[in-house]
């Protein structure tokens, strides 16, 4: 479902990015431009996507990535408490992603009356989500490489 809706919305806005994917942040002009390009039906579709596509996906990826990281850390024999803090990366990404969805939903529901504080908060949350997702993917990638190297050495 999500994989059909996102391209449709992106086509509607001329190939641009939705707020969820603007990891460098956005401002009032960006939000107003996006909302105008989407139109009323596009905003409804975006709201539907946030509620029924993105929120379930967040839960799925946060749990899956957490389990994968735990298993890889165990397989790689990393027993350090500090290293196990890595387990919290996907959980933090998921928390920030949920907060981002709630803030984007609020922007969609209150448009055209949106405050700059709401946009600043939403933009900051999107940026933080981007950092934690990047750290999560990097951690997974690094742990898979370590696991494979250990397998090859045996």
For residue range 23-75, what is the model confidence (pLDDT) as tens digits?
A: 999 999 999 999 999 999 999 999 999 999 898 999 999 999 999 999 999 99
Between these two residues, 141 and 80, which has the higher pLDDT value?
141
Which helix (H) or strand (E) segment is 54 a member of? none
> To 10 degrees, what angle do helices 116-153 and 88-110 make?
150
Q: Which domain holds residue 18?
A: 2-153
Q: Return d(Cα 107, Cα 81) in angstroms, integer.
A: 40
The proportion of the chain whose per-residue pLDDT surpasses 70, expressed as a percent, equals 97
Give residue 137's pLDDT band: very low, low, confident or very high (50, 70, 90): very high
Total number of domains constituting the chain: 1
Contacts for 135 with CB less than 8 Å, ≥ 6 apart: 89, 93
């Amino acid at each position: 479902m999500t994989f059909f809706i996102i391209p449709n919305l992106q086509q509607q806005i001329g190939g641009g990015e939705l707020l969820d994917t603007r990891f460098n942040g956005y401002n009032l002009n960006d939000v107003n431009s996006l909302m105008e390009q989407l139109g009323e039906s596009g905003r409804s579709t975006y709201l539907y996507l946030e509620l029924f596509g993105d929120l379930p996906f967040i839960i799925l990826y946060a749990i899956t990535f957490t389990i994968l990281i735990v298993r890889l850390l165990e397989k790689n024999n990393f027993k350090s408490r500090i290293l196990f803090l890595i387990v919290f990366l996907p959980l933090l990404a998921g928390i920030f992603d949920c907060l981002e969805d709630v803030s984007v939903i609020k922007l969609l529901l209150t448009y055209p009356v949106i405050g700059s504080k709401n946009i600043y908060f939403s933009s900051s949350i999107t940026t933080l989500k981007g950092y934690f997702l990047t750290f999560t993917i990097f951690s997974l990638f690094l742990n898979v490489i370590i696991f494979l190297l250990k397998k090859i050495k045996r």
